[in-house]
Amino acid sequence: MKNKGRTSVPEAKGSARDKIIAFFEKIPSNEPVAIKEIELATGLSWPAIKGALEVGKLNIHFKKSANTWIAWKSTAHVGEKLEDTCAKFRKEPDPTAEY
């Protein structure tokens, strides 16, 4: 594990998206984090972090503030919320049917 920032992320092989999600799961909602801290905790470069944040629907936002970039999560849920799942194909029992 890396212990360079306020939180650490396991050094397991994974995508940039997975590492960023693991980092932000430990951070409270609406708390700004400097990109440098994310770089130190995940081992990712700024272009990799920016690319993952731009592409994915992670509920993580970023913007430039003064001379640095900051990121924050807007809700407690990090990651894409799946709206179309296989639950719609599950058959519900007919309440009027007699067994």
Give the confidence band of 58 by pLDDT, cuts at 50, 70, 90. Answer: confident
Report pLDDT for 83. Answer: 55
Q: Which two tokens stand for residue 79?
A: 């990651």
- Check if the beta carbon of residue 44 is closer than 8 Å to that of residue 22: no
- Check if the beta carbon of residue 46 is closer than 8 Å to that of residue 39: yes
Distance of CA 38 to the CA centre of its chain: 12
Give the confidence band of 36 by pLDDT, cuts at 50, 70, 90. Answer: very high
- Check if the beta carbon of residue 24 is closer than 8 Å to that of residue 60: yes
Rounded to two decimals, the pTM is 0.61
Give the confidence band of 52 by pLDDT, cuts at 50, 70, 90. Answer: confident
Q: Which domains does the chain have, with CATH numbers?
A: 16-80 (1.10.10)
> How many whole angstroms separate alpha carbon 53 and alpha carbon 36?
15
